[in-house]
Structure formats: structure tokens, C-alpha cells
């Protein structure tokens, strides 16, 4: 890596950049060629997660974020989903860098799988972000990543594209927005953000710098939509701290707080309150303990000696002096809070004076699981407090009024809602329209849809943009165990079918020469009917299979594929007639 300095600020130049930096086209100003800037979101425009956006100008490509998406309820067995990078096949040498806005899994989770397949380009991130990427990489046996720590006042020269940063607040420290200066114009990508005037452990967002960026002229703003449907301003972490303090002071016994493992500002608040009140804190949950150790090592979290104790030592202190911070507030099956509720935790059991706090919002789809968890905790005698009872959770994303302020500061010509389901993007677009942005300049795109911007001296900001009908591949790539992309929609459909109606296996032994049936077919039912209680139905299936095999031309040779298809079609239709269910029928032909 080669460093240049100008006006006291560091400027980086990528190795192998060659003529891109000193090409005649860029001397004395922006490139005057008719090249277009293409912006393509590979993920993040139809879901919460899988965030990854490409910026392509000529032979220069930069990538913002490379995250994962957690599976939905209709994806049995899937660990998570990552972006489809097939568009970049053959363009690996054009990738000048991957820029990461912050350390959450929906922004870094795809890196171990995708970065090596892209030629391992340099990954740029702030100190905490790079530390979390490096820690996650230790779980994989792939080659080391090429990580580069950046500061908020740095400017990166990546081919003909310049990248700089501005500080924003989020639920994890070291979060930044990204400014992408191209020969066509300046693009601003907010990352995940909120405005918090009284944050915990960090300073407020850099309003002055954001306003300066806007004053200089911004062609397009890509803005987070996660909390766009919510009215008003996002609540401050300081307000959450006051409410948590009130609860902790009044609690008669032990306090167990469930929250996100990445919500490090909340963890810091709780530890600070515990120190003020002379309480001990035990942190439990693999991801929670890992993240706390990272922020402690980097100096983002300062803890007095003796405050943090091991979870196994929890019974060595009076209950009224103990706070447990753990994972599982979303009702995850093997997370700490669920194991405590089900009496499967090695060291913690719910006791009558315990207060359990859910310091997180409910992720859509988890409502029933969380309610069952709360019911279990109440049955065990705990007092349960959650965010709908009082403000004990502040989201990490901007609400409607915050988004209006961001738009007013940046003053873009074009507006592109990102990060959220389609309905959220539409609501974000309406927010922009409500403060005067032309609806023609608001692009609500789909994953993979190409947005183009081209220089045009007659236009405001010197460029014109359009949402094209072009799409690049952006379908799901599913990770299942060690398999990446080997679970297709067909496999998923089969899993869904088995989960809904079960399966029935029909094992038939036939003579290899004649195809005649030998013995009686064996039938195995899984998730369809209990065979002991459905003997009549099973015998009807057995008789029908015998008839299907014996009713054939004795002069024709045995054809296993024909026999399998015949059994599958006929038995499937027969079972639906009898039960109005469609189990997966798996015929097995054994030749002897």
C-alpha cells in the first residue's frame, strides 16, 4: 500500500492502479468520456439483510458492504443467505476495493464466502469493523483477508473513484456513511444510521460534515429504509439509559437482560449502571462474549476491574447484586435466554424475584416465539419487562423525521431508498416526496436492477440518471452447513413439501430380467401418517403398488424409471384423494 499526503490528510492509492490515476481524461477535472456510472444493489432492496451494492464506472468497481440475510420460516435447514456475485465473474480484476460501513452481520456476513472468490480485494473499514471481520474469518479455513483500517477523515483513491467517510450513529460504534466521488458526480451511501444527539460512548453524527457534502453538490443519496415506516425521531440511547437505571434500582433480586449481541452501546450502558450501583455483571452467549472482548481490547469499552465475572460464579454473589446480559431476546432456540427459561442452562435458573428485561425490538416473524418465551418466564415466577411497556430499546435506524433531516442536509438530485422490503422502500420514497423531491428522481429499485448516471452539462449537478429495465442475477445463494449455493429452489421446495405433508417411501423388489414383482412392497411413512393407526390406508397403498407393477406387458423389458414415475404419479394422486394431503412419494426399485 502506498500513501500520499496532501493538506495534512492521508490519501491512499491502490497498488496496480496504473494509468487510472494519471490518465489524461482525469487531468484538470472529471473524465469527459461518455462512460456511465452504474449502481446495482445485489441485495438489500427486497429484504432486511444481504446488503451489497456495486458502483461501476468503466473498468473500476467498488463494493459497499457484503452481508448475509437470516433465513425465513419457509427455508428449513438453511443457515443464512448471501448475495449472488455471478455478475462479477470475469470482472474480479476491476474490483478496486470493498468498503464496509459497520460491523453488523447483515453487512459483513458474506465476506468469508465471497471475498476469496473475488480475488481477495482490499476490504476497507474502521477499526472496530475490521476487528469484527477478522474475528469472523477465524471461523473459516480460507485464506487471510486483505484488511485495511481507515479513519473517518481519510480519502481513498480507487481507480477513478474517490471514497471518503462521515460519522453516523448506529447501534454499534465506528459506523460510517460513505461519499463516492465519480467522474459523473458524487453519490452518498448512508449505511445503517440514526441521529442521536446524546449517544452513549461516542459523539453525535457529524452534522457539519454532512452539510458540507450536501453544499458541494450530491448527485444521488442512497438512504437506509429500515425504520422509514416509523413516525417521528428515533429515541436517544441516553433516554434508554434513564429507564434502565430506574428498573435496575427497583428490582428486588437478580436482573437478566436479553438483547442483540451486536448492540454494544446497550451493553456499555448496562455495565456503567452496574458499576454505579455496585453490582456485578456476567455476560453470556458466544457472540455476546466475543463482541464484548473485541470492544474491550480496542478500548471502546472501559470496565472497572472486578465488574465482569464468569457466568459460572454467579451464585457467589447476592442475587440483588447480579446482572446477567445475554443473547436470546428474539426467542432463538439455543440462545442463552431460551436455555435459561427451559432450565437447560448449566448455571442459571429462573427464580421468583428475578426481573427479565427484553431490551430489543421484535424482528418480524419472531412474535409467536418471543411470546412463548415470555409466557414460560412468567410461569417460572419472573417479572418480565419489554419495550412496549416502557422505552428500554432504541432502534439503530432513522425514523421518518430523521430521514427528512438527512435529505435536507445532503440535498441530492436523485434519491434511492435502500435496506428494506419493497414496502419500506416505497414509504421512504414518500418521505422524500413529502419534502419536495421530484418523484421522477426517486428510484425504487429491485435487487439486481441497474441504475445509470451519465454526464450531461445541461443538467443540474452535470449529470442525468435513470432506472433501467436491466437486471443482473441477484437471486438467493443459500448456505447450508459447508455447502454454499448447492441448495437450490428445487431442494428448498422438497424440504417445504416434506415439512408440510411428510413423505412416504415405497420400496419394491423386482426381477432384473423380467421386471416381475418379488415379495411384497415395503412402505415407510415419515411425517405423513402413523402406520400403526393407518393400517388400512397403508395396505391399500401396498395393494395398489402391486397392481401397478403386475399390470404391464410381460414381453416388455423392465424399465425402472417408468416404474418409478408410475408409482409416484398414481400413489400421489391416490393419497391426495384419501387424505387431501400431498406427501412426497419416493419409489425405490431394487433389482435382483
Q: Annotated active-site positions, please?
A: 224, 397
C-alpha cell at 62: 467498488
Sign of CA dihedral 364, 368, 371, 372: negative
Three-state SS across 296-321?
Answer: HHHCCCCCCCCCEECHHHHHHCCHHH
Single out the residue of 53, 73, 72 nearest to residue 64, CA to CA: 53
Output DSSP code: residue 72: P
- Find residue 281's DSSP bridge partners: 308, 323
Q: What count of other Cβ atoms lies within 10 Å of the Cβ of residue 537?
A: 18
Which residue is associated with the grid cell 429500515? 226
Q: What is the rounded distance in angstroms from the CA atom of residue 91 to the CA atom of residue 87?
A: 8
C-alpha cell at 82: 448471501
Q: What is the dihedral of CA 506, 507, 508, 512, to 10 degrees?
A: 140
Q: What is the rounded distance in angstroms from the CA atom of residue 302 to the CA atom of residue 407?
A: 35
Which residue is associated with the grid cell 423531491? 437
Which residue is associated with the grid cell 442536509? 409
Output the CA–CA distances (angstroms, integers) from residue 427 to 51, 118, 226, 422, in the order listed: 19, 35, 10, 9
Single out the residue of 256, 251, 290, 291 nearest to residue 270, CA to CA: 256
Q: What is the rounded distance in angstroms from the CA atom of residue 514 to the CA atom of residue 516?
A: 5
First to last CA, the chain: 68
Amino acid at each position: 500500500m502506498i500513501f500520499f499526503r496532501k493538506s495534512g490528510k492521508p490519501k491512499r492509492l491502490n497498488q496496480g492502479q496504473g494509468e487510472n490515476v494519471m490518465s489524461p481524461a482525469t487531468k484538470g477535472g472529471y473524465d469527459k468520456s461518455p462512460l456511465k456510472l452504474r449502481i446495482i444493489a445485489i441485495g438489500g432492496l427486497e429484504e432486511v439483510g444481504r446488503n451489497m451494492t456495486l458502483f461501476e464506472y468503466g473498468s473500476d468497481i467498488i463494493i459497499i458492504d457484503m452481508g448475509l440475510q437470516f433465513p425465513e420460516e419457509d427455508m428449513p435447514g438453511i443457515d443464512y443467505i448471501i448475495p449472488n456475485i455471478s455478475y462479477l465473474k470475469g470482472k474480479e480484476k476491476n474490483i478496486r476495493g470493498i468498503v464496509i460501513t459497520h460491523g453488523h452481520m447483515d453487512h459483513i456476513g458474506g465476506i468469508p464466502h465471497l471475498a476469496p472468490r473475488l480475488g481477495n480485494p482490499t476490504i476497507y473499514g474502521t477499526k472496530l469493523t475490521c476487528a469484527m471481520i477478522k474475528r469472523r474469518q477465524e471461523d473459516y479455513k480460507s485464506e487471510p483477508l486483505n484488511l485495511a483500517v481507515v479513519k473517518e477523515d481519510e480519502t481513498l483513491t480507487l481507480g477513478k473513484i474517490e471514497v471518503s467517510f462521515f460519522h453516523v450513529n448506529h447501534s454499534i460504534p465506528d459506523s460510517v456513511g460513505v461519499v463516492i466521488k465519480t467522474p459523473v458526480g458524487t453519490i452518498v451511501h448512508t449505511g445503517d444510521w440514526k441521529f442521536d444527539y446524546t449517544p452513549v460512548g461516542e459523539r453525535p453524527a457529524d452534522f457539519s460534515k454532512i452539510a458540507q457534502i450536501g453544499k458541494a453538490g450530491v448527485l444521488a443519496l442512497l438512504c437506509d429504509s429500515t425504520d422509514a415506516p416509523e413516525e417521528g425521531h428515533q429515541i436517544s440511547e441516553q433516554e434508554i439509559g434513564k429507564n434502565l437505571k430506574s428498573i435496575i434500582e427497583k428490582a428486588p433480586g437478580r436482573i437478566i437482560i436479553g438483547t442483540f449481541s451486536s448492540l454494544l452501546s446497550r451493553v456499555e450502558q448496562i455495565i456503567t449502571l452496574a458499576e454505579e450501583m455496585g453490582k456485578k455483571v456476567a455476560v453470556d452467549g458466544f457472540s455476546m462474549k466475543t463482541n464484548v472482548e473485541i470492544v474491550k481490547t480496542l478500548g471502546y469499552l472501559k470496565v472497572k476491574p472486578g465488574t465482569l465475572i464468569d457466568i459460572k460464579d454467579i451464585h457467589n454473589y447476592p442475587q440483588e447484586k447480579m446482572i446477567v446480559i445475554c443473547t436470546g431476546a428474539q426467542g432463538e432456540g439455543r440462545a442463552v435466554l431460551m436455555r435459561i427459561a427451559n432450565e437447560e442452562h448449566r448455571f442459571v435458573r429462573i427464580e421468583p424475584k428475578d426481573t427479565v428485561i427484553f431490551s430489543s425490538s421484535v424482528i418480524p416473524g419472531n412474535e409467536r416465539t418471543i411470546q412463548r418465551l415470555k409466557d414460560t418466564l412468567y410461569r417460572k415466577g419472573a417479572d418480565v419487562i419489554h419495550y412496549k411497556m416502557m422505552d428500554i430499546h432504541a432502534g439503530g435506524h432513522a425514523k421518518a423525521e430523521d430521514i427528512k433531516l438527512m435529505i435536507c442536509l445532503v440535498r441530492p438530485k436523485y434519491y434511492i431508498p435502500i435496506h428494506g422490503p419493497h414496502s419500506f422502500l416505497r414509504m421512504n420514497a414518500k418521505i422524500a416526496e413529502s419534502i419536495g423531491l421530484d418523484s421522477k428522481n426517486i428510484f425504487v429499485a429491485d435487487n439486481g436492477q441497474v441504475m445509470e448516471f451519465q454526464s450531461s452539462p445541461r443538467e443540474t449537478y452535470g449529470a442525468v440518471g435513470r432506472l433501467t429495465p436491466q437486471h443482473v442475477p441477484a437471486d438467493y445463494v443459500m448456505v447450508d452447513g459447508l455447502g454454499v449455493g448447492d441448495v437450490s429452489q428445487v431442494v428448498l421446495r422438497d424440504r417445504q413439501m416434506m415439512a408440510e405433508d411428510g413423505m412416504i417411501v415405497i420400496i419394491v423388489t423386482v426381477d432384473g430380467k423380467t421386471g416381475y414383482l418379488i415379495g411384497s412392497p415395503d412402505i415407510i411413512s415419515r411425517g405423513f401418517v402413523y402406520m400403526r393407526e393407518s393400517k388400512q390406508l397403508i395396505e391399500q397403498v401396498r395393494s395398489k403398488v402391486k397392481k401397478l407393477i403386475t399390470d404391464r406387458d410381460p414381453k416388455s423389458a423392465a424399465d425402472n424409471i417408468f416404474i418409478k414415475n408410475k408409482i409416484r404419479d398414481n400413489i400421489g394422486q391416490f393419497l391426495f384423494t384419501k387424505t387431501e394431503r400431498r406427501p412426497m412419494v419416493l419409489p425405490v426399485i431394487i433389482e435382483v
